[in-house]
């Protein structure tokens, strides 16, 4: 008997090609749901309650917690459309015997290029230049930037994305260093240093580390105090990795010159900024490219099929 497969995506069935739909329908009874915005928990549970295999993006849910897991008694496999899985209660699901597939590298190139784009936006004040050219800023606002060539670039987390960011930075003439608790050697494109050295000596820090569900930020007040004056920070990982209340204080006092985050921040944090242009937000779009979408959807289909047929792939 074919398993019941429930898939949540932005466009429902239209998110997939004819060939992908055909392959999915060969291995299971498929129910597609088109979801653009987060659903109330009870609505999501009612739509997914018969699922044995669940395909899900982050659109319908920001947090797949144990309450949801307990409300889906038939569930035995989840295929998530993301690389990060901090929004899933992996530990609890594994205890229930639920297998979880993810997308380890569908957006590596896209996210790394976005990180470099954020670096250039900060260094050359590109958002400010647009506002000034549009007449939204006075002529008194300076657009003077700085060259990234020769600058010290520290990367926290040398996984797939961190490695690609390091390689691109090296190609652009930066001195690239990294810290990763797992990797212990230096590479032609990045020299390994202690975490303290990343904080004290870098001109730019890019955060590419994974976020562990429930853990405190890795960049908090103590870490910011140790940083070089005038440092720039780029975060293409999760906003939970940084203490943003402390960050705003250090931006306002001039210790941190600028910050770029691929997410959004709450208005009460942004309202405390004395100079709004010191923070650039890109609303979690670093992954969003034509190529990444194509790769990701195909990998997602393969992961769903693998779970349905008892041949799981890319298991967390």
153's CB contacts (< 8 A; 6+ apart) are 166, 169, 174, 175, 176, 177, 202, 203, 204, 205, 206
Closest CA to 59 of 16, 106, 8: 8
pLDDT at 138 over 90: no
**pLDDT tens string 76-100:** 999 999 999 999 999 999 999 999 9
Gyration radius from the chain CA atoms: 21
Domain residue ranges in the chain: 4-106+290-308, 108-281
Answer yes or no: same fold for 4-106+290-308 and 108-281.
yes
CB 106 within 8 A of CB 83: yes
**pLDDT tens string 191-221:** 999 999 999 999 999 999 999 888 999 999 9
**pLDDT tens string 96-125:** 999 999 999 999 999 999 999 999 999 999
pLDDT of residue 263: 96
Per-residue pLDDT band for 224 (boundaries 50, 70, 90) equals: very high
Per the document, the length of the chain is 316
**pLDDT tens string 48-76:** 999 999 999 999 998 999 999 999 999 99
Which ranges of the chain would DSSP assign to H, the alpha helix?
18-27, 41-48, 66-70, 90-95, 108-123, 126-133, 160-171, 195-201, 221-225, 244-252, 267-270, 290-308
* Topology (CATH level 3) of domain 4-106+290-308: Rossmann fold (3.40.50)
Mean pLDDT over residues 19-23, rounded?
98
Per-residue pLDDT band for 136 (boundaries 50, 70, 90) equals: confident
d(C-alpha 247, C-alpha 171), whole Å: 30
pLDDT at 141 over 90: no
The DSSP output letter for 82 is S
CB 8 within 8 A of CB 33: yes
108-281: in CATH 3.40.50.720? yes
pLDDT of residue 153: 98
d(C-alpha 127, C-alpha 121), whole Å: 7
pLDDT of residue 276: 86
Per-residue pLDDT band for 163 (boundaries 50, 70, 90) equals: very high
**pLDDT tens string 270-285:** 999 998 889 999 999 9
| 191 membership: H or E segment, kind and range | strand 191-192
pLDDT of residue 93: 96
Average pLDDT, the chain: 96
């Amino acid at each position: 008997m074919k398993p019941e497969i429930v898939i949540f995506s932005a466009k429902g069935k239209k998110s997939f090609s004819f060939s992908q739909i055909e392959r999915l329908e060969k291995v299971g009874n498929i129910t597609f749901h088109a979801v653009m915005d987060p659903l109330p928990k009870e609505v999501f549970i009612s739509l997914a309650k018969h699922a044995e295999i669940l395909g899900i993006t982050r659109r319908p849910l920001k947090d797949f917690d144990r309450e949801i897991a307990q409300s889906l008694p038939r569930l035995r496999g989840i295929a998530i459309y993301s690389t990060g899985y901090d929004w899933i209660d992996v530990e609890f699901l594994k205890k229930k015997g639920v297998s979880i597939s993810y997308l380890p590298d569908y957006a590596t190139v896209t996210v790394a290029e976005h990180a470099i784009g954020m670096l250039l936006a900060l260094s050359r004040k590109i958002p400010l230049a647009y506002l000034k050219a549009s007449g939204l800023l006075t002529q008194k606002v300076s657009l003077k930037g700085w060259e990234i060539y020769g600058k010290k670039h520290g990367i926290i987390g040398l996984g797939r994305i961190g490695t690609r960011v390091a390689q691109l930075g090296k190609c652009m003439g930066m001195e690239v260093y990294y810290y990763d608790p797992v990797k212990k050697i230096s590479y032609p494109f990045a020299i390994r240093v202690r975490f303290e050295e990343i904080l004290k000596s870098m001109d730019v820090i890019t955060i590419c580390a994974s976020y562990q569900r429930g853990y405190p930020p890795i960049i908090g007040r103590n870490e910011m105090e140790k940083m070089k004056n005038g440092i720039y920070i780029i975060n293409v990982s999760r906003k939970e990795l940084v203490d943003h209340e402390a960050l705003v204080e250090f931006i306002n006092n001039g210790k941190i010159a600028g910050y770029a985050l691929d997410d959004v921040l709450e208005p009460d944090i942004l309202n405390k900024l004395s100079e709004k242009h010191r923070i650039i937000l890109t609303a979690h779009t670093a992954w969003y490219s034509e190529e990444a979408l194509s790769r990701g959807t195909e990998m997602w289909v393969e992961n769903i099929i693998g779970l349905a047929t008892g041949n799981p792939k890319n298991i967390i």
